[in-house]
Amino acid sequence: MTGASALAPCLRTVRAVVLDTDGVILDSAGVHAAAWKGAFDACLSAAGIRAPFDAVDDYRRYVDGRSREDGAMAFLNARGLDLPFGDPGDGPGTATVRAVMARKERLFTRRLREHGVDVWPGTVRLLHALAAQRVPCAAVSASRHAWDLLTSAGVLGLLRTVVDGNEADRLGLPGKPDPALFLEAARRLGFPPRDTAVVEDALAGVEAGRRGGFGLVIGVDRTAGPTSAAELRGHGADVVVADPGELLTEEEDRGSAKGTSAAATSAKGTSANRRSG
């Protein structure tokens, strides 16, 4: 007979945890990807480029985890489109980078109004288990919507702090793969990076965790593609799981544990032994 969920071995030595928002806590990455597809496809069509934006591969490679500006420019440059950056007042369109961003924003907010976003249940279970062990948690996001979405999803109370796109703008923090967002979150939690774990689904975010010198970088492979787990590891993940719920075990009444995922178990001690640079 099982009791409360306990942390997997790889998390038992960390003192704080920083989680990405879109794709890790909230099931919102697909909403972002669909909005970007609408914005980018209109831009590509206007330029006479027939190959559309791929909402899985292109989103993961160029956009996921990055600021809107960095993601938009990365994809457009990859397709050979050197658009002027534009002005802050540019409306939704295809002529400037800011116009493409505005189109994405309009599509995204429309989808939010129509459908909302859900939380990932496994992540919520992990947040409750971390709270039970008094391990403070923070959320980071390149999105300016993160605080409102976390509030409406009912998980803000499980987080000590949130560093989102609005905070990044206010503080002048560069976007991922620069580790600035994660470092600011760890600073607010009161622990150095070496004692803090990062949980990320984006390649840019995993790379940011590695660059920041975090003691444990956990990649979340939501796509389960043929090379996606290897790509997360290649960008710096110590552990790769399909869902953060795999970072829990089910404790028996007498204190033993079972059901730990192979990925989580194999990472025991990784944070102490990895990285030479």
Task: Report the catalytic residues.
Answer: 20, 22
Q: If you write DSSP's letter for every residue of 83-129 in order, what string do you get?
A: -----TTPPSSSSSHHHHHHHHHHHHHHHHHHH---B-HHHHHHHHH
Provide the 3-class DSSP secondary structure of residue 225.
coil
- 8 burial via Cβ count (<10 Å: 0-12, 13-18, 19+): buried
Between CA 257 and CA 240 the distance in angstroms is 21
As a whole number of Å, the end-to-end CA separation of the chain is: 45
- Length in residues, the chain: 277
Q: If you write DSSP's letter for every residue of 132-175 in order, what string do you get?
A: HTT--EEEE-S-TTHHHHHHHHT-GGG-SEEE-HHHHHHHTPPP
CB 11 within 8 A of CB 247: yes
CB 53 within 8 A of CB 41: yes
